[in-house]
Amino acid sequence: MTGPAEAGLAGRVALVIGAGSIAPGIGIGRAICLALARDGAIVVAADREIAAAEETCAMVAEQGGQAETAEVDVLDDASVEALVADVIERHGRIDILHCNVGLGKSGPSDGTTADDWRRISDANLTSLHVAAQAAIPAMREQGRGVITVTSSIAAIRYPGFPHLAYGATKAAASHFATALAVELAPDNIRVNSIVAGLIDTPRIGVTLAKSYGDRDEKQMRAARDASCPMGRMGSAWDIAEAAAFLASDRAGYITGTSLVVDGGLSATVRQPAEI
């Protein structure tokens, strides 16, 4: 490169897996689709909940971007492989693969069965391998590609309540990105994870309701805000901007890293008196 990189993603084909939101509002995958499309990418918004993916596409269209919907279940390898093959067949390429699905089971670890563990691991980890392996041949042929994984602060810290299978598989997801990055660096395919802090998405009202003791949802959100050094949880947009940056040529020499986007949460030891 002889000067500053092009900022945009015009003409790039981006597949986002987990592109909806499990409750109304802006989930991280939805925000990522909107940010990638804003920067000019043609986005394939894939989700198990087709209606949620359609809503994402409608929002992209509303902002003047280009997106299409696809149905996928990351717990079904064949469905993931068929999705990636379909994107390549229809668009002739795949430039950006963002794996965003994350499942977990909070609560004491003795409540997590081996079947729960396998399901969480299949979604958070195995599906990354299946999707990446389906995309890599086309990326190699193109001479470029970007693979990004949404990881979590639970990969590097105890998140404040028991979330063992989630944290362990997210840690593995970050390592997946680090190790695969080295393997693919000679092919100009960059692989990174985003270590998202406490993020205020519609999901937390659904999945974390019981993880914050007797607090109601409003109190739970307030406790999460207070525990962050910046006094607020992150938003889905905070993660989406990092994803758009990593997908772009501006991040052309960034690979194998875990980009922490947590408002300083992992940089501090919060004392009880502070929160």
Ligand X SMILES: NC(=O)c1ccc[n+]([C@@H]2O[C@H](COP(=O)([O-])OP(=O)(O)OC[C@H]3O[C@@H](n4cnc5c(N)ncnc54)[C@H](O)[C@@H]3O)[C@@H](O)[C@H]2O)c1
Residue 17 parent element (H or E): strand 13-17
Per 3-state DSSP, what percentage of the chain is helix, strand, and coil (rounded to 5)? 50, 15, 35
x/- site string to ligand X, residues 226 to 255, per CB under 6 A? ------------------------------
Binding status of residue 49 toward ligand X by CB under 6 A: yes
> Which member of 91, 93, 203, 215 binds ligand X (CB under 6 A)?
203
Give the burial class of 140: count Cβ atoms within 10 A of its Cβ; 0-12 exposed, 13-18 middle, 19 or more buried.
Answer: middle
Binding status of residue 82 toward ligand X by CB under 6 A: no
Tell me the site size for ligand X, rule CB under 6 A.
27
Comparing CB distances to ligand X, the nearer of 149 and 184 is 149
| Dihedrals phi, psi of 49, to nearest 5 degrees | -95, 100
Binding status of residue 204 toward ligand X by CB under 6 A: yes
Is residue 201 a contact partner of residue 236, using CB atoms and an 8 Å limit? yes
Binding status of residue 21 toward ligand X by CB under 6 A: yes
Is residue 105 a contact partner of residue 111, using CB atoms and an 8 Å limit? yes
Span near ligand X by CB under 6 A; candidates 5-13, 23-31, 33-41, 182-190: 23-31
Binding status of residue 136 toward ligand X by CB under 6 A: no
Task: Decide if 212 is catalytic.
Answer: no
Is residue 13 a contact partner of residue 42, using CB atoms and an 8 Å limit? yes
Binding status of residue 152 toward ligand X by CB under 6 A: yes
Binding status of residue 167 toward ligand X by CB under 6 A: no
- From residue 1, give the alpha-carbon distance in Å to each of 6, 66, 132, 251, 252: 10, 28, 27, 12, 9
* Neighbour count for residue 25 (Cβ, 10 Å): 13
Binding status of residue 177 toward ligand X by CB under 6 A: no
Binding status of residue 192 toward ligand X by CB under 6 A: no
Residues that bind ligand X (CB under 6 A): 18, 20-22, 27-29, 47-49, 52, 72-75, 100-102, 123, 150, 152, 196, 198-199, 201, 203-204
Q: Catalogue the active-site residues.
A: 166
